[in-house]
C-alpha cells in the first residue's frame, strides 16, 4: 500500500467512524477510492474503530464484494444464477473464460479485465446478464460479449489522445 | 403548442437492453429537427419483452375512463385520473436506436402509425388484466419527483396515518391480512404490534432490500420506478410503532436502485416528508440507505441486522426475535421492500379494500416475476389465486426457446422445482406448501426441456456452500458433501446408494440448520429427485463446476 493510500484509508475512517456500525460503510468507501481493500488497511481500520484486526479481517473476507487484491481496469461480473442458467449462462461463462483467458476470480495478465461470478443482478427477465464496471447488460450472446470486451480493449490500449 | 412529453425508462433492465441509447437518440433526433421535447426517465412498466418501451403523451381520443379496466385495482388511481385531464400515453416498442428516425418520420410524437406502435399502454392486454396496487405507479411516474408522486395518489396513506393513533395503524395493517412479501409470509401486523408494545426509547424500521433470489426483481423495479412508495411505507411504519430511524439494507448488486433511492430520499427531505417534522406533525422520521456487500445470507433477517451493524452476516439464534431485540439490541421491524410498499395503499384505501383481493389466507396482491426461459418475461401483479399455468402461458407465452417447459423454480434458489403436471397450482402460500413447494418472493424461473435437473440440484448445493455463513454445520459442511454426492451419482459411483445418501443428507440439513439457507437448500434438491429422478444417473462427461 502506498503512503498516499494509507492516508486515504485514514481520512475515510476518520470521517465515518462516528456513524452507527460503520465498518462495512468504511470498507465500501475504501474500495471505491482504491479499487480494493489492501490487507495493510486492516490494522489502521481496527485501531480507528476500536475493533480487533481479526474482526476487521473477518468482515472483509466474509463479503464477496470486497477484494483484497487490486482489480483489473475493467471488472466483468457474469451472473451464474438459475434464471441466467436457463438461458445459456454456463456456455456464456465458458466463452468468456476462453475469450479473456482467465478463470473466475482472476485478472488478465495485462491487468485489463477481472472476471467475477455474481449471483443475480435482478435482470432475470433479460437473461443472461452481466455487469461491466457497474453497467448492466442483458440478453447477452457470445458475440455481444466479445463486442463489449473489444470496445473496452480499444479504449484501454489505444493511443493516448 | 407545448413540448411533447416522451417517456423512456431508466430501469436497470431496460437500460441493459438499450434504453439509455434510445433516450439519447430521441433527444438528439428531436434537437436536429428543432422539436422541443420533455424527456421523462420513468421506471419500467415491467413488460421486458417490449423494452425499451417508449411512450408519448397525446390528447385522448376518447373519455379517459372508457379505456381503463373496471377492476378495483384502478380504484386507487381515481384522483389521478380526474387530474390527468384528456391525455393518454401511447406505447412504441421494443425500440432500438435504428428505429428512432423512422419514429420521428412517422410523427410518433402525435401518435403516428408505425410498425412498433402498440396503442394506448394501459390497453395492452398484458397490462390491462393485471391488478396493480403496489405497482400502480411504477413505470408511470418520474421516480425522482415528489410532486409527480403526490399527483398520482402518493402520500395519501401517510396523511391518513398522521391522523390515526399508532394502535389503529397497526390494527389496519393487521386487518388487511398483509403477510411478509420477502418469502416467510409472516403476518405483518403481528410483527408491528410486537414492536409497538416494546417500551424503549429507540426503535428501528429496517427494510430488507437484499433481493438475492434468482428470478426476482420486483424490489429492484419498485425502488427504481417508485422509490417514494417504499419511503412512504417505512415512514408509516415509523409512526405506527414509534420509531424515528429507518434503514434500507440494499444489495450492492443494485447500483441503479441505490441512486434512485438516494435521489428520492433527498427529495422527500426537501419536501419535508422526512426529517424532524414530517408534514408539520412534529413527528420525526429519518431514513438512510446502507449497502450490503454481496452475501446472499444477508437476506435472512438476523444476518441482515448483523450486517447493518457492520459485522459479518452470521445468523443470530432466535429468540430473541428482532421485534424485541433487533438492530443494536433495540426493537426492530424487518420487512421486505414489497411489504412496506403495500402499506400506503392499505392505509389510503383501507384494510377491507386490500383484503378483498386474494384467496384463503393469502390476501391482497403479489407482484410476480416471470424470469429465465420465458417468451414474455416481466412483472405481473395479480391478486393471489391466479394459476401458475396462466402466468406461464397466458402472460409468459411459453418458453423463450419455443421448446416445452419442463420445470419451473418458484421462490428463488431455495424453492422447489415444479413439474409440468403441477402447473395448475394456484399462487397462494398454502396451495404451494401443499404440493411441497413455496412461493417465497414470487420469482418464477422457467426451464425448457433441455434442463439437466441433476445439474440444477448440484447447483443448489454449490450455491449453499458458496453462500453459507458457516455458523452451523449442516449448512456449512452438508452443502459441500451434497455437491460431492451428486458428483458420485452422475459419475456412476454407486449411483443408487448415493441417491439414498443424498436423501438422508437433505433430511439432516432440513432438520439441523440454524436458518433457511441450509434448512431450505434441500427443497430444490428433493423436488428434483422426486419429479425428475431419471436425471440422477451416471452420464459422461461428468458435471462441471459452476462458479
Is B358-448 in CATH node 3.10.20.600? Answer: yes
Q: Find, among B189, B216, B210, the residue nearest to B467 by Cα.
A: B210
pLDDT-above-70 percentage for chain B: 94
B288 pLDDT above the threshold of 90: yes
What residues in B contact A86, CB-CB < 8 Å? Answer: 372-373, 445-448, 451
Distance of CA A147 to the CA centre of its chain: 21
Mean per-residue pLDDT, B334-349: 98
User: Is there a contact between B486 and B503 (Cβ–Cβ < 8 Å)?
Assistant: no
The H-or-E segment that residue A115 falls in is strand A113-118
Q: List, for residues B224-241, the tens digit of each pLDDT value.
A: 999 999 999 999 999 999
What does the alpha-carbon distance between residue B53 and residue B93 come to, in Å, rounded to a whole number?
A: 5
Any chain A CB within 8 A of the CB of B521? no
pTM comes to 0.94
pLDDT of the residue at B543:
65
Q: How many CB pairs (< 8 A) connect A and B? A: 160
Query: Does the distance separating the beta carbons of A138 and B294 come in below 8 Å?
Result: no
Best probe of the B interface among A49, A122, A130, A138, by most B CBs < 10 A, is: A122
Contacts of B372 in chain A (CB under 8 A): 82-87, 124, 127
CATH fold group of domain B156-355: Rossmann fold (3.40.50)
Cell numbers for B393 = 402461458
Task: For B224, name the nearest residue in chain A, comparing CA atoms only.
Answer: A122
How would you classify the pairing of strands B117-120 and B332-336? unpaired
- Looking at CA atoms only, how far is residue A140 from chain B in angstroms? 9
The sign of the CA dihedral B88, B89, B92, B94 is negative
Assign domain B4-128 one CATH number from 3.30.350.10, 3.10.20.90, 3.40.30.10, 3.90.1150.10.
3.40.30.10
CA angle B16, B19, B20 (to 5 degrees): 95
A58, A83, A126 ranked by CB distance to B16: nearest: A126
Write out pLDDT tens, residues B142-199: 999 999 999 999 999 999 999 999 999 999 999 999 999 999 999 999 999 999 999 9
> What is the per-residue pLDDT across B102-128, written as a single tens digit (0 to 9) for each?
999 999 999 999 999 999 999 999 999
User: What's residue B92's pLDDT?
Assistant: 98
- Domain residue ranges in chain A: 3-62, 74-157
pLDDT, chain A, mean: 95
pLDDT at residue B86, as a whole number = 83
- What mean pLDDT comes out for the span B418-429? 98
B13 to A28: CB separation less than 8 angstroms, yes or no: no
Q: B453-535 has which fold?
A: de novo design (two linked rop proteins) (1.20.1440)
Q: What's the burial of B72, exposed, middle or buried (CB within 10 Å: 0-12/13-18/19+)?
A: middle
CA distance B40 to B27: 11
Q: Compute the distance between CA of residue B369 and CA of residue B260 in angstroms, rounded to an integer.
A: 21
To which residue does cell 415528489 refer?
A: B146
Interface test with B, best of A59, A120, A129, A133 (most B CBs within 10 A): A120
Interface check B204 vs A, CB under 8 A: no
In this structure, are residues B509 and B518 in contact, taking their beta carbons and an 8 Å threshold? yes
Verify whether the Cβ–Cβ distance A82 to B409 is below 8 Å.
yes
ipTM of the complex: 0.96
Q: Which of B44, B441, B444, B547 should be substituted to probe chain A, the one whose Cβ sees the most A Cβ atoms within 10 Å?
A: B547
Residue A17: what are its φ and ψ, rounded to 5°?
-70, -15
- pLDDT computed for residue A28 by the predictor: 98
Residue B516 sits at φ, ψ, to 5 deg, of: -65, -25
Q: Which residues in chain A have their CB less than 8 angstroms from residue B547's CB?
A: 80, 104, 117, 119
Calpha distance B164→B424 (Å, rounded): 42
**Residues B400-405: contacts with CB within 8 Å, 24+ apart?**
B400/A87, B400/B373, B400/B374, B400/B375, B401/B373, B401/B448, B401/B450, B402/B375, B403/B448, B403/B449, B403/B450, B404/B448, B404/B449, B405/B373, B405/B446, B405/B447, B405/B448, B405/B449
Each domain of chain B, given as residue ranges in start order, spans 4-128, 156-355, 358-448, 453-535
Per-residue pLDDT tens for B429-442? 999 999 999 999 99
Architecture per CATH, domain A74-157, reads as 3-Layer(aba) Sandwich (3.40)
Compute CA A148 distance to the chain's CA centroid, rounded to the nearest angstrom.
17
Give the pLDDT band (50/70/90) at residue A149. Answer: very high
Which triple of cell numbers denotes residue B4?
411533447
pLDDT above 80 for B544: no
Amino acid at each position: 500500500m502506498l503512503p498516499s493510500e494509507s492516508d486515504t484509508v485514514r481520512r475515510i475512517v476518520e470521517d465515518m467512524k462516528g456513524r452507527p456500525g460503520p465498518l462495512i460503510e468504511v470498507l465500501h468507501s475504501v474500495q471505491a477510492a482504491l479499487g480494493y481493500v489492501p490487507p495493510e488497511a486492516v490494522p489502521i481500520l481496527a485501531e480507528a474503530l476500536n475493533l480487533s484486526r481479526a474482526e476487521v479481517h473477518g468482515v472483509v473476507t466474509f463479503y464477496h464484494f470486497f477484494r483484497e487484491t487490486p482489480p483489473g481496469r475493467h471488472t466483468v461480473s457474469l451472473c451464474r444464477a438459475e434464471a441466467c442458467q436457463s438461458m445459456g449462462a454456463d456456455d456464456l461463462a465458458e466463452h468468456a473464460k476462453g475469450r479473456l483467458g482467465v478463470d473466475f476470480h482472476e485478472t488478465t495478465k495485462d491487468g485489463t479485465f477481472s472476471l467475477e461470478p455474481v449471483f443475480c443482478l435482478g435482470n432475470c427477465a433479460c437473461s443472461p446478464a452481466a455487469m461491466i464496471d457497474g453497467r448492466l447488460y442483458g440478453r447477452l450472446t457470445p458475440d455481444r460479449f466479445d463486442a463489449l470486451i473489444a470496445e473496452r480493449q480499444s479504449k484501454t490500449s489505444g493511443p493516448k489522445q | 403548442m407545448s413540448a411533447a412529453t416522451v417517456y423512456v425508462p431508466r430501469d436497470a433492465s431496460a437500460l441493459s437492453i438499450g434504453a439509455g441509447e434510445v433516450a439519447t437518440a430521441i433527444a438528439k433526433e428531436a434537437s436536429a429537427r428543432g422539436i422541443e421535447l420533455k424527456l421523462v426517465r420513468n421506471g419500467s412498466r415491467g413488460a421486458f419483452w417490449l423494452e425499451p418501451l417508449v411512450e408519448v403523451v397525446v390528447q385522448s381520443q376518447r373519455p379517459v375512463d372508457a379505456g381503463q379496466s373496471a377492476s378495483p385495482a384502478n380504484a386507487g388511481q381515481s384522483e389521478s385520473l380526474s387530474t390527468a385531464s384528456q391525455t393518454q400515453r401511447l406505447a412504441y416498442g421494443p425500440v432500438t436506436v435504428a428505429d428512432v428516425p423512422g419514429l420521428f418520420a412517422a410523427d410518433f410524437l402525435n401518435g403516428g402509425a408505425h410498425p412498433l406502435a402498440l396503442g394506448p399502454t394501459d390497453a395492452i392486454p398484458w397490462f390491462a388484466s393485471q391488478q396493480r396496487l403496489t405497482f400502480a405507479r411504477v413505470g408511470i411516474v418520474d421516480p425522482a419527483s415528489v410532486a409527480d408522486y403526490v399527483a398520482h395518489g402518493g402520500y395519501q396513506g401517510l396523511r391518513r396515518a398522521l391522523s390515526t393513533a399508532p394502535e389503529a395503524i397497526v390494527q389496519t395493517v393487521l386487518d388487511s391480512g398483509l403477510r411478509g412479501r420477502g418469502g416467510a409470509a409472516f403476518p405483518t401486523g403481528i410483527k408491528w404490534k410486537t414492536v409497538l408494545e416494546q417500551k424503549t426509547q429507540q426503535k428501528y424500521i429496517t427494510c430488507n432490500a437484499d433481493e438475492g433470489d434468482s428470478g426476482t426483481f420486483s424490489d429492484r423495479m419498485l425502488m427504481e420506478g417508485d422509490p417514494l412508495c417504499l419511503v412512504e411505507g417505512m415512514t408509516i411504519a415509523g409512526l405506527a410503532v414509534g420509531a424515528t430511524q429507518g434503514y434500507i439494507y440494499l444489495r450492492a448488486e443494485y447500483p441503479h436502485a441505490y441512486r434512485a433511492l438516494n435521489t428520492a430520499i433527498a427529495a422527500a427531505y426537501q419536501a419535508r416528508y422526512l426529517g424532524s417534522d414530517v408534514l408539520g406533525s412534529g413527528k420525526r422520521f429519518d431514513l438512510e440507505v446502507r449497502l450490503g456487500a454481496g452475501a446472499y445470507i444477508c437476506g435472512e433477517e438476523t444476518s441482515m441486522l448483523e450486517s447493518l451493524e457492520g459485522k459479518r452476516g452470521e445468523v443470530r439464534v432466535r429468540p430473541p426475535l428482532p421485534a424485541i431485540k433487533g438492530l443494536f439490541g433495540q426493537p426492530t421491524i424487518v420487512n421486505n421492500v414489497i411489504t412496506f410498499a403495500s402499506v400506503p395503499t392499505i392505509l389510503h384505501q383501507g384494510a377491507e379494500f386490500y383484503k378483498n383481493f386474494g384467496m384463503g389466507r393469502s390476501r391482497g396482491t403479489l407482484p410476480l416475476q416471470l424470469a429465465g426461459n420465458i417468451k414474455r418475461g416481466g412483472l405481473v401483479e395479480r391478486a393471489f389465486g391466479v394459476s401458475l399455468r396462466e402466468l406461464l402461458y397466458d402472460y409468459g407465452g411459453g418458453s423463450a426457446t419455443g421448446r416445452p417447459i419442463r420445470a419451473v423454480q418458484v421462490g428463488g434458489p431455495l424453492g422447489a422445482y415444479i413439474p409440468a403436471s403441477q402447473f395448475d397450482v394456484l399462487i397462494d402460500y398454502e396451495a404451494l406448501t401443499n404440493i411441497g413447494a413455496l412461493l417465497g418472493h414470487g420469482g418464477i424461473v422457467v426451464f425448457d426441456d433441455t434442463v439437466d435437473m441433476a445439474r440444477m440440484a448440484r447447483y443448489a448445493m454449490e450455491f449453499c456452500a458458496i453462500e453459507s455463513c458457516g455458523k452451523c454445520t449442516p449448512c456449512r459442511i452438508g452443502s459441500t458433501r451434497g455437491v460431492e454426492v451428486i458428483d458420485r451419482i452422475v459419475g456412476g459411483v454407486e449411483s443408487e446408494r448415493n441417491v439414498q445418501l443424498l436423501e438422508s443428507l437433505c433430511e439432516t440439513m432440513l432438520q439441523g440448520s440454524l436458518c433457511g439457507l441450509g434448512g431450505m437448500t434441500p427443497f430444490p434438491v428433493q423436488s428434483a429427485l422426486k419429479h425428475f429422478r431419471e436425471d440422477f444417473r451416471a452420464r459422461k462427461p461428468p458435471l462441471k463446476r459452476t462458479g
